[in-house]
Structure 1
Amino acid sequence: MDNVAFTRHTADEVSTLLDALCDAYADAYGEVPGEDGGVKSSAFRDRATAALEVRNYELVVARAGGEIVGFVFGYSLRPEREWWRGLKPEPPDGFTLETGDRTVVLAEIEVRRTWQGRGVGRGLHDAFLGGRAEERATLASNPAATATHAMYEGWGWTKVGTVPGRPGSYYPEYVRFVFPLPVQNLPR
């Protein structure tokens, strides 16, 4: 990882990076049997573009030799987003209360295939969360991605349950995870 540099970017800086982010995203996933890569990439571009409008958006990019080898982005969770709607099992009182400053959504974390397993993802994760002021982080995951779930849990995330996908969602349901902030809680 000595030759990997991490840089932070605001929403205003992303327009010049969006095509490269889409390329890195497509490479991170590669070809998945039974999936239409064009649909998945198009859905990513739509999500990435929509995220630019959300409060406290931030992107962290990992580069090696000038090439984007990975990235992570997220934003503050808006109360009207209904992120926790339908969460099962039922959470404790107050868990789903959102103020706009309580929780950061780690919306995407992607690493090119040739860079996976080399610490880039963890570096992106730590750099992104280390710059956040919220009290906790959350992310959503494909329920079938059990290896990814194990990785998140190894990084200190806690699975809190599942929520149904919204109309037009890529998956019919999503697993929700939380992570306590500030960053000194990061396990090593």
Structure 2
Amino acid sequence: MAVTDVTYTRHSAEAAAGLMDELCTVYADAYGQVAGEDTTVKADAFRDRATGALSARNYELVTARADGELVGFVFGYSLRQERDWFAGLDPAPEAGFTDERGGERTVVLAEIEVRKAWQGQGVGRSLHDTFLGGRLEERATLSANPDATATHALYEGWGWQRVGTKPGRPGAYYREYAVFVRRLPLLDRR
């Protein structure tokens, strides 16, 4: 199928809650089987993260469907100061970098996943652009596996800048994460 056969839809947190099983299925497919890894552990951790995100400020989900099948999704939310997203960022950022100014400065792109069969066809980029194109914040941030250099190059090609690394939280997949930031257009939509 061509990317033009894909429909992108925005969803609120309430609607996203009803799609959780489908989101988990796409997540598991996107990562596939990893030798020696218990896939239920990673899938359960994703479900916990995704369910927890539903209560975040200005949560939004964008789905990609082809012939009714969910082939990808992205979700995120506005960053609150108390979230302390940039804690431990190395190198230390300039003064004011971590200030959220009322929680409307930064959107976290928390997850972007595309089924294996649809990867490399522009679905991920379209999800990314649709999600960020509808946001009102000044900038976006995301964190990634620090060793995923191909993914880092992809993000940089999409306009993201790596600003450093930060330690993983207790129970996280990685001991540290690469942190990226991207400026968003300031749109007068309020």
Counterpart of 2:127 in structure 1 is 124
Counterpart of 1:22 in structure 2 is 24
Contact 1:130–1:183 at 8 Å: present in 2 too? no
Q: Partners in 2 of 1:168 and 1:120 — Cα distance?
A: 30
- Shift of the alpha carbon at 1:183? 7.6
Q: How many aligned residue pairs are there?
A: 184
Contact 1:57–1:75 at 8 Å: present in 2 too? yes
SS in 2 for 1:45: helix
Q: TM-score when scaled to structure 1?
A: 0.95
Range with bigger deviation, 175-184 or 40-49: 175-184
SS in 2 for 1:55: coil
In structure 1, list runs of 5 or more residues that go unmatched.
Answer: none
Q: Partners in 2 of 1:183 and 1:10 — Cα distance?
A: 22
Contact 1:162–1:173 at 8 Å: present in 2 too? yes
Q: Partners in 2 of 1:16 and 1:86 — Cα distance?
A: 35
Contact 2:74–2:111 at 8 Å: present in 1 too? yes
Sequence identity percentage:
68
Q: TM-score when scaled to structure 2?
A: 0.94
SS in 1 for 2:4: coil
Q: 2:87 aligns with which of 85, 88, 102?
A: 85
Q: Partners in 2 of 1:39 and 1:66 — Cα distance?
A: 28
SS in 2 for 1:132: coil
Query: Segments of 4+ in structure 1 off by > 4 A?
Result: none
Q: Does 1:58 align with 2:57?
A: no
Q: Partners in 2 of 1:44 and 1:144 — Cα distance?
A: 20
Counterpart of 1:105 in structure 2 is 108
Q: Partners in 1 of 2:22 and 2:136 — Cα distance?
A: 28
Q: Partners in 2 of 1:5 and 1:77 — Cα distance?
A: 28
Q: Partners in 2 of 1:84 and 1:26 — Cα distance?
A: 28
SS in 2 for 1:140: strand
